[in-house]
Chains A and B, each alone.
Chain A
Amino acid sequence: MYSRAYKAFVSLPPLVWVGLFLLLPYALMFAHSFWAVREGVVVHDWNLQNFKTLYSNPVYFAVLLRTMRIAASVTLCSLLLGYPLAYYLSFHAGARKELLYQLVIVPLWVSYLVRGYAWKTILGSEGVLNGFLQYLHLTHEPVAFLLYSPFAVVLMLTHIYTPFVFLPIYASLEHIPRPLVEASQDLGAGSTQTFFRVILPLSIPGLLAGATFAFVLSLGDFLAPLLVGGASGTMIANVVQSLFGAAFDWPLGAAIAVCILIITISLLFLSERAEKRWSFK
């Protein structure tokens, strides 16, 4: 039905654009990772030194590990918050379901910066939370670890990504035909058994999608550490950012960025495979 001219017309501009503004930049970043810096200038000296540095330097390695731990914590916490919320909306909210859904997605699109800033003001030594605790006489001096710590980063990112995690899980749950739940109860399974035997298995694709999303985005986050992480909450993306900034070593930065990219794409790929295995169409 569509002529070759039509197809060419619609395909070429985006192809060219994507090639120029996505493929080429990634290729450049990839190329940079094999180069080096000498006397403040990037030299096109093809070598694997950068990757060796990342592997052998204990500081970088520790930061990478910490980043993984933070990303895992964020994912876990977001799931613990987002899944029950999605379950409630899907199965118990009744007539208010649509309104509640809107209420959940609204914060999703409201500025990351606004939300991160809010946490910064809440968690500080003179922040709202400390003030609140002291007002209630629960503490007598500011609790330090609240801000400028990995804890703060996890807290802030969980807050950001809970709605992200909620969305695909909710979609998955909504796709479960209600007669299946009734059939399970009809056959003698109570709410708990029905959940673990029927609802949970059928919601795994959504769960995996949400978890992957949260993990991958947390892994590469550099803003949260800058806002609330302090020195002890630095993550791997901050290292990259500083290498492109003050610490001027673009090749090394590119190498780390490439590693993040590879980890990310691998996780996405694995997740997609797993999602397919767990979707029963």
Chain B
Amino acid sequence: MSARTSTRRAPLLTVYAALVFAFVYLPIVVLILYSFNRDGVGGFPPRQFTLNWYRQLFADGPIWDSVLNSVIVAAGSVALALTLGLLAALALDRASFPGKALFRRLVLLPLILPGIITGLSLLMLAVFAGAQLSLLTVFLGHGTALISVATTELFAGLQKIDRSQEEASLDLGATPWQTFWRITLPNLKLSLIAAGLLIFTLSMDEIAVTFFLIGRDNTLPLEIWGRLRRGITPEINAISTLIFVFSVALIVIWYRVRTRGLGAEARELLERP
């Protein structure tokens, strides 16, 4: 039964909420603003509009090398995390085995542990295995840490699948393997896309774990970090602005994908009086 309702007003709370919003967005707005400022990063007010810093950015070779590295690592992480995450989600949803509870906790641990712990422990593994630190170690680190994101998202997606669809498929003569490819996977399409987008974004931005696993080739965050050690330039503002715009675009797409997938259920949840 849906009774129509109205929302009540609360002026003080509205102002406070607006202030919190401002707090969350202000630094980013300042950052973007100053990427166009001729006189650099500090001082107030910003005096002269210029695109110089962006021009400088686009001519900056090492930055774009690191962007390419980041993209490669991110793409790899998506593939790795989604594959293992899907299997883990299926295992959690359908199989029971000794130590399952422990397994679930372990998989989700990197999500809530500080990055330094994950990074250091993987570093120790690398040393133990005698591996050279490189983009490969970074890739393995990201992939491992982000399995948790994939598992969470895909597990939720699996819960929403109508089990009787798979039963119908088996009833009609398809093998479990065929059922997986024809029924289960298509139903998970939206979850996979959503998880993939999220993992990609997180991998591109990852810094804490990467810090300890990086070799000679930098990812973008580490490249920026290195420059910060040497001094602040508005060029960093420029690349940060671009990162921000890119991330926002990806996250908006991610959100749209996710809520489209939920469909009527989500709409009801969002409209509930």
Contacts and interface: CB of A to CB of B under 8 A. Distances in A.
Interface of A: 1-3, 6-11, 13-15, 17-18, 21-26, 28-29, 32, 81-82, 84-85, 87-89, 91-94, 97-98, 102-107, 109-115, 117-122, 124, 126-128, 130-132, 134-135, 159, 162-163, 174, 178, 191, 213, 216-217, 219-223, 227, 237, 240-241, 244, 250, 253-254, 257, 260-261, 264, 268
A154 to B, nearest CB: 13
Interface in B113-129: 113-117, 120-125, 128
B217 interface: no
19 contacts: A1-B166, A14-B91, A22-B110, A24-B125, A28-B125, A32-B124, A107-B25, A110-B248, A113-B205, A115-B27, A115-B28, A121-B232, A216-B112, A217-B114, A220-B115, A220-B116, A227-B228, A237-B114, A244-B123
A167 B13 CA distance: 18
Interface string B89-126: 01100110100000100110110111111001111110
Interface residues of B, number: 87
B247 A94 contact: no
Contacts of B225: 113
Given A2-B95, A85-B21, A159-B24, 6 more contacts: A17-B144, A22-B144, A25-B122, A109-B201, A178-B5, A257-B116
Contacts of B133: none
Interface of B: 5-10, 13-14, 16-17, 20-21, 23-25, 27-28, 30-31, 34, 41-45, 84-85, 87-88, 90-91, 94-95, 97, 103, 106-107, 109-110, 112-117, 120-125, 128, 140, 144, 147, 166-167, 170, 176, 198, 201-202, 204-205, 207-208, 211-212, 221, 224-225, 228, 232, 236-237, 240, 243-244, 247-248, 251-252, 255, 269-270, 272-273
Task: Provide the main secondary structure of the chain A interface.
Answer: helix
Contacts of B166: 1
Contacts, number: 257
A178 B31 CA distance: 40
B247 A110 contact: yes
B42 A121 contact: yes
Nearest to B110: A22
B113 A264 contact: yes
Contacts of A1: 94, 166-167, 170
A103 B113 CA distance: 26
B28 A118 contact: yes
- Central interface residue in A2, A7, A113, A264, by most chain B CB within 10 Å: A113
Nearest to A23: B106
A99 B14 CA distance: 15
A10 B87 contact: yes
Contacts of B84: 13-14, 17
Given A107-B28, A110-B248, A244-B212, A10 B103 contact: no
Contacts of B16: 84, 88
In the A-B complex, the 10 residue pairs with the closest CB atoms: A220-B114, A131-B44, A25-B121, A94-B7, A7-B95, A126-B42, A118-B27, A88-B17, A14-B88, A111-B205
